[in-house]
Amino acid sequence: MDSTKIINALLLICMLCILTAAPILGCGYCGKHAPKPSHKPGKKPGRGGKGPIALPPIVKPPITLPPIVKPPVTLPPIKPPVEVPPIFYDDDL
């Protein structure tokens, strides 16, 4: 094997190891978030004393289904049985 192929294979293995270890080790900075300011249980700012907004009810039109109609069943005409004359063999005569 050429030395370049060996070096490329080792670099690929190293990159895979680094990519799999990075989320496990972590940097510590990403997991910490700034605390949110707490709200006082008094008036809410920007409301002006108004009550909650009431949404109008959603009215759906009625769904009318078409009637279920069974297709007519057509049967083939019944033919009378065909009589076959008996077959006589030379031994029967």
Mean pLDDT of 13-21: 84
pLDDT tens readout for residues 19-62: 887 666 666 666 555 666 666 665 555 555 677 888 889 999 99
Task: Output the pLDDT for position 18.
Answer: 83
Q: Does the residue 63 lie in any domain?
A: no
pTM of the model: 0.28
Biggest CA–CA distance in the chain, Å, is 121
Residues spanned by the domain of 22? 1-26
Report the number of distinct structural domains present in the chain: 1
Residue with tokens 């670099």: 11
Judge whether residue 70 has pLDDT over 70. yes
Q: Does the residue 41 lie in any domain?
A: no
Task: Output the pLDDT for position 39.
Answer: 61
In this structure, is the dihedral angle defined by the CA atoms of residues 37, 39, 40 and 45, taken in order, positive or negative?
A: positive
Burial of 22 from C-beta contacts in 10 A (0-12 / 13-18 / 19+): exposed
